[in-house]
A and B are shown apart, each in its own frame.
Chain A
Amino acid sequence: MAVICKNCGGTLVFDPESQKMTCDRCGAFITPGEVEFYARDILENKKVIPLSKIMGAEPYDDLPVSYSDPDEIRKDAEEYPDYELEDPPPLLNDIPGPIRNFAKRNFAKWDFSDNYMECAVYTCDYCGGEVIVNGTEASTMCIFCGNPVIVFSRIAKQRRPELIVPFKITKKDALKAIRKHFNKGIFIPREVKHFKEKQVRGIYIPYWIADAEHYGSAIILGSVEKSKSGEPDTYYYGRAGTIMIRDFPVDASRILPYDISSRLEPYGIRNATEFNEDYLAGFYSSIADDSIDGLSDLIEKRAAAIFEEEAKADIMNAYPERIIEAVHHTEIDYGSLRYAMLPAWFVIYEHKGKHNTILVNGETGKVVCGVPWNRKILYSLYFLFATALSCGAVYMINIFLTESDWDFDDISNAILFLVLIIGISFAWGIKMFKKVHKSLGLTQGRSVFNFVKRGREQV
C-alpha cells in the first residue's frame, strides 16, 4: 500500500525532521494518523502470496519425486544452471517477467523449509508492480516506481504493534554523526573516513518491551583505603533485594544479532507513541519473528547485570571492585508485554571487498559499529613504542639490579610487582583488542547485512 496525498495524488512519506507526513509533489504536511485511507478494508484483506506457492513448490508433494528434497534441488541447480520448470503451474505466466525470471533462476537454490528466506509477492498500489517481500517485511520500497509500500495486511491481520518510536534523526544527520566519529578515529584508514555509502536504509526493528521484577543477592568485593598507611584493604559486602525493571527492549527479529541491536540502546520508550502505519511510509520494517519465550533468557541475563550494577552502586563506604558470587531470579510480567517498532539507520559501505554495516539509533543518533583499522600505522607505531620502552626499561632494570643497595627480599618484591604489571597490561590489552575485533566482526558479519538486504535484491 502506498500512502497517497489526498490533494495531488503524490506519495506521502514520514519526515523525521517535521514529524509529519510530507508529499513529495505538492509539499503538503499531514499529521500521521490523519491520512485517510480509501478502501481500508480492501487493503487489510489484500493477500501476500508466497512465491513458493506461485512456483508450485508448496506443498512439496506437488513436485516430481526427484525434487522433493531441498538438498537435491540445490545440487541439481549447480549442475544445471539453465534449469527450467518443465511444467510450470498456470499462475507462473501471470506474474511479471523480471520476477518470473528471478524466481526461475533461484527456485532451485532455495530451501523452502527455512522461514527467513520465504518470499512473497505483493502488488504496489501506486504502479501495480509485483514487489517481492520476505516472510517478515511489513514495509519496503517498490522496486519499479520507488514508492513506499506498506504490507498493510501483515500489520492489520497479524499482531499489530502497540507502540512506535518514530524516526527523529534524518538520513543526513545519521551520515553526519558517522563521519564525525570517523574523523576522530586515529587508526581509521583515510579511505574509510571518506567512505562512500553503498546503501542507507531506515528500518523499523520489531522489539518486545518487557517489564520484570528481579530478585537477587550478591557478594561484592570492595576495597577501603586505610587512613594511616594509605594501603587499600579489601572486604566482602552483601546486598540482597528487588529491582523493578520497566520498558526493557529486546529485539524480536531472529536474524539481527542481539549483540548488536542491544548496543542501539537506550531508546526513549516513554516517549513512544501509539502505533500508526503512517510512520512506516518511506522506511523499511519487519514484523516480529521471535516470540518472547525465546527471549526470556536474554531478559534474565540483562536483569541480573542491572541488579549487580545497582548492588555495587549501593556500597557507600568502599570502592566496589567486582561481584564474587550472586544468585538471581527474574519474573517477567507477560501481561504487560508490548510490541513496538524502534527506528535505526543502517548504512552499508564496502572496504577491501567486505561489506560493513553501521547502525545509527534513529531516535538518539547513537552510532554503533566496529571500524577497520590501518594495520600499517597501528603495528609500526606499536613496535616502535614497545621497542623504545623496552630499551629504556632494560637499561633501568639493569642499573637497579646491579647498583641498588636493597636487600634480596625487597628486590624479589620489586620483580614480582613488575611481573604483575606486565601480566595486567597484557591481559587488559588483549581483552580490549578482542572487544574491538568482536565489534568489527559484527559490523562485517552476514547477519546484519542480511537483515538489511534480505528480500530486496531480487531483480
Chain B
Amino acid sequence: MIKFLSVVLGIGFGFGVATFVFSYFLNESNNIGDSVGSAFYYVRSRKFHARMDKMTPSERHEFISRYHRLF
C-alpha cells in the first residue's frame, strides 16, 4: 500500500512539476507579445471614494450590494 502510494504521488509530482516547468519555458520561448496595454497607458485619473480593509462577511455583502443598486 505504501509503495503504491509512493509511486502514485511520485509520478504525479514528477509529471506535475515537469508540466509546469516546460509550459513556463514554452510560453517564454514561443508566445511572443502576449500582453495588452495596461492601466498605466490609459488611466488619467483615479478616485476611490470608498475603501474598506479587513471586512467581515456582512460588510463585504453590504459593500458590493450598495453598488449593485447604484449601477
Instruction: Give me the interface of A with B, judged by CB distance under 8 Å.
Output: 181, 184-188, 215-217, 219, 235-249, 262-267, 302, 306, 309-311, 313-315, 317-318, 325-329, 359, 366-373, 378, 381-382, 385-398, 401-402, 415, 418-419, 421-426, 428-433, 435-436, 439-440
Instruction: Give me the interface of B with A, judged by CB distance under 8 Å.
Output: 2-3, 5-7, 9-27, 29-39, 41-55, 59-60, 63-64, 66-68, 70-71
- Within the complex, the shortest CB–CB distance from A44 to chain B, in Å, comes to 35
Task: Judge whether B55 and A235 touch: CB under 8 Å.
Answer: yes
Q: Which single residue of chain B is at the shortest CB-CB distance from A429?
A: B19
Task: Judge whether A187 and B47 touch: CB under 8 Å.
Answer: no
Task: List 6 A–B pairs whose Cβ atoms lie within 8 Å, in order of A's numbering.
Answer: A263-B34, A378-B22, A382-B19, A385-B18, A422-B16, A433-B23
Q: Which single residue of chain B is at the shortest CB-CB distance from A265?
A: B37
8 Å CB contact of B14 from A185, A313, A393: A393
With known contacts A217-B63, A401-B2, A243–B26 Cβ distance under 8 A: no
Task: Judge whether B67 and A425 touch: CB under 8 Å.
Answer: no
- Within the complex, the shortest CB–CB distance from B4 to chain A, in Å, comes to 10
CB-CB < 8 A to A369: which residues of B? 32-33
How far is B7's CA from A311's CA once the two chains are assembled, in angstroms? 45
Of residues B7, B9, B52, B64, which shows the largest number of chain A Cβ atoms within 10 Å of its Cβ? Answer: B9
8 Å CB contact of A238 from B12, B19, B42, B55: B55
8 Å CB contact of B17 from A235, A370, A389, A394: A389
CB-CB < 8 A to B9: which residues of A? 393-394, 397, 415, 418-419, 422
- Within the complex, the shortest CB–CB distance from B13 to chain A, in Å, comes to 4
CB-CB < 8 A to A398: which residues of B? 2-3, 6, 10
How far is B14's CA from A219's CA once the two chains are assembled, in angstroms? 36
